Amino acid sequence: MPLQVIVGAQWGDEGKGRIVDWFAGRADYSARYNGGDNAGHTVTVGKQIFKLHLIPSGIIHPQIVAVLGNGMVINPRTLFDEVETLKKAGVSAAPERMHISYAAHLITPAHQALDKALEAARGKGNIGTTGRGIGPAYTDKATRHGVRLADMLNPDFCERIGDHVADTNRTLKMLAAAELDPAAVCDEYRGYAERLKPYISDVSIELDAAIKAGRVILVEGAQGTLLDVDFGTYPFVTSSSTTAPGALTGLGLGLEAASDAQVIGVVKAFQTRVGSGPFPTEVSGDLALRLRGSGSNPWDEYGTTTGRPRRVGWLDGVLLRYAVRINGISELAVTKLDILSGLEIVRLCTTYKRDGKTLADLEFGPADLGPYEPVYEELPGWKEDVSGVRRWADLPPAAQAYLERLSGIAGVPIRLVSVGAEREQLVVKE
Ligand code: IMP
């Protein structure tokens, strides 16, 4: 398939990075279409751990051209930190192999300050944002006050950035937050403009030509389905289109590109969420500690971007079916199966109960999950450590049964199962 779209089927942090890494070995382009440095994609290659926030994780493969689409919001400070980190690890993110859309929006320190001030003003009802300025940058985009990468190419760029900081200062003042110095931001961003110039292009033209030439474009969604601004647990969502259709508008691809697309949904073998908002299958106590891990391993359940402990729970099949429909998922990659080893029983939420009625699907999407009570199916657990397993047939029968049931609930087959953080700790189901 020329277009392969990898999306998170839950609240993000499904382990998309390592799944992208597997597909990227066979692709020509690795493209991101949404979000900014709120994302955190981890890929482990031997002793090297790559934690990427903005640059598509496929870049680790030498044949890949990385693309950052118009649907993204880009903090140039993070971008160049990442370019440097990759360089030290021997991975080039030079303009020859990384192209950024002229229509992507910039994130500035004013957006970050506003994000934090707005969260503080929300008090207890806060969203639990990453504080990276994502919401304010997309707000500026929608209200037509945004600053795009193309603006960096204009002689009046500094003035534009200065106006944007002065505008934001007015809101910061109303929120009793510290204001920023427009001249200082202007100076910093003038430097970034120089460095960014060779990266900026119309990536839509390049991707269109690549598809026509039969190249494989691996598209990497950030966050997850349930954080989508339209289809997620609104208002506890991020501000972009995280779902697969967002790949078209976020990269400048026409609908025809979708006719040849394959959508791979990445789903953790259980469920996690970072930040506020509903979570029907959430667990607490010892089981939560067990699923989350102590934080001593980089792949324990602590945010890659913020370090916050993630909330954890049983896999929610109702929400997974919803993700399959909204994204058009054709196959699943299940991650972190190894974490469930050793549990006496494993539970899967198959349906919800509301007012005594059993519901297989949500009535109005996942925004208001409060009144729904999860209905679980219990399956026997397995004691065996599965981290060394590389073939489906070698998985313990109970683990196979759990995965088969998960696939049955989702209504789509499983293609990959990850059993550890290392690149090769993967089971491919033929
Ligand atoms: P924002 O994207 O920083 O505005 O945060 C909005 C919500 O999305 C918060 O609940 C964040 O914790 C969550 N969020 C944003 N990015 C990610 C991610 O990459 N993984 C998981 N949650 C995320």
Which tokens go with 2? 């020329």
| Closest ligand 1 atom number to CA of residue 274 | 12
Instruction: Output the residue whose Cα is nearest ligand 1's atom 21.
Output: 12
Chain region(s) in the chain for CATH 3.90.170.10:
3-91+203-428
Q: 38 C-alpha to center of ligand 1: Å?
A: 6
pLDDT at 294: 85
pLDDT value at residue 57: 93
Name 318's Cβ contacts closer than 8 Å, sequence gap at least 6.
349, 350, 351, 352, 359, 360, 361, 362, 372, 374
Check if the beta carbon of residue 3 is closer than 8 Å to that of residue 263. Answer: no
Q: Ligand 1 atom 10: the closest Cα is on which residue?
A: 275
State the distance from the centre of ligand 1 to the C-alpha of 284, rounded, in angstroms: 21
Give the number of the atom of ligand 1 that is nearest the alpha carbon of residue 115: 4
Tokens read off for 105: 């929006």
Kindly tell me the burial class for residue 231, based on how many C-beta atoms sit within 10 Å of its own C-beta (0-12, 13-18, 19 or more).
buried
CATH superfamily ID and name for 105-198? Adenylosuccinate Synthetase, subunit A, domain 2 (1.10.300.10)
Q: Give the pLDDT of residue 421.
A: 86
Q: For residue 133, how far is its CA from the centre of ligand 1 (angstroms)?
A: 11
Centre of ligand 1 to C-alpha 311, Å, is 13
pLDDT per residue over 231-245, tens digit each?
A: 999 999 999 999 999
Output the residue whose Cα is nearest ligand 1's atom 12. 275
**128 in the Ramachandran plot: left (φ > 0), alpha (ψ -120 to 50) or beta?**
left
Is the sign of the CA dihedral 274, 49, 105, 189 positive or negative? positive
pLDDT for 31 equals 98
Which residue's CA is the closest to the ligand 1 atom numbered 20? 12
Mutation probe of ligand 1 site: the residue of 20, 130, 302, 311 with most atoms within 8 A of C-beta: 130
Task: Please state the separation of Cα 382 from the chain's center in Å.
Answer: 30
Secondary-structure class of domain 3-91+203-428 per CATH: alpha beta
Pocket of ligand 1 (CB under 6 A): 11-13, 38-40, 127-130, 132, 134-135, 222-223, 227, 236, 238-239, 274-275
Q: Atom of ligand 1 at shortest distance to CA of 39?
A: 19
Residue nearest to atom 8 of ligand 1 (CA): 238
What residues are annotated to the active site?
13, 41
Cα 236 to ligand 1 centre (Å): 9
Type of residue at 169: N
Residue ranges, comma separated, of all CATH 1.10.300.10 domains in the chain are 105-198
Which among 14, 38, 225, 237 is the best mutation to test ligand 1's pocket, defined by most ligand atoms within 8 Å of the CB?
A: 38
Say how far apart CA 66 and CA 86 lie, in whole Å: 13
Q: How far apart are CA 419 and CA 422, in angstroms?
A: 9
pLDDT in tens, the chain (430 residues): 799 999 999 999 999 988 999 999 999 999 999 999 999 888 888 888 888 999 999 999 999 999 999 999 999 999 999 999 999 999 999 999 999 999 999 999 999 999 999 999 999 989 999 999 999 999 999 999 999 999 999 999 999 999 999 999 999 999 999 999 999 999 999 999 999 999 999 999 999 999 999 999 999 999 999 999 999 999 999 999 999 999 999 999 999 999 989 999 999 999 999 989 999 999 999 999 999 998 888 789 998 778 889 999 999 999 999 999 999 999 999 999 999 999 999 999 999 999 899 998 898 899 888 889 999 999 999 999 999 999 999 999 999 999 999 999 999 999 999 999 888 999 999 8
d(CA 210, CA 217): 8
For residue range 8-51, what is the model confidence (pLDDT) as tens digits? Answer: 999 999 999 889 999 999 999 999 999 999 998 888 888 888 88
Expressed in angstroms and rounded, the spacing between residue 350 Cα and the centre of ligand 1 is: 26
Atom of ligand 1 nearest to the CA of 222: 19
Q: With CA atoms as reference, report the closest residue to 262 among 19, 17, 35.
A: 19
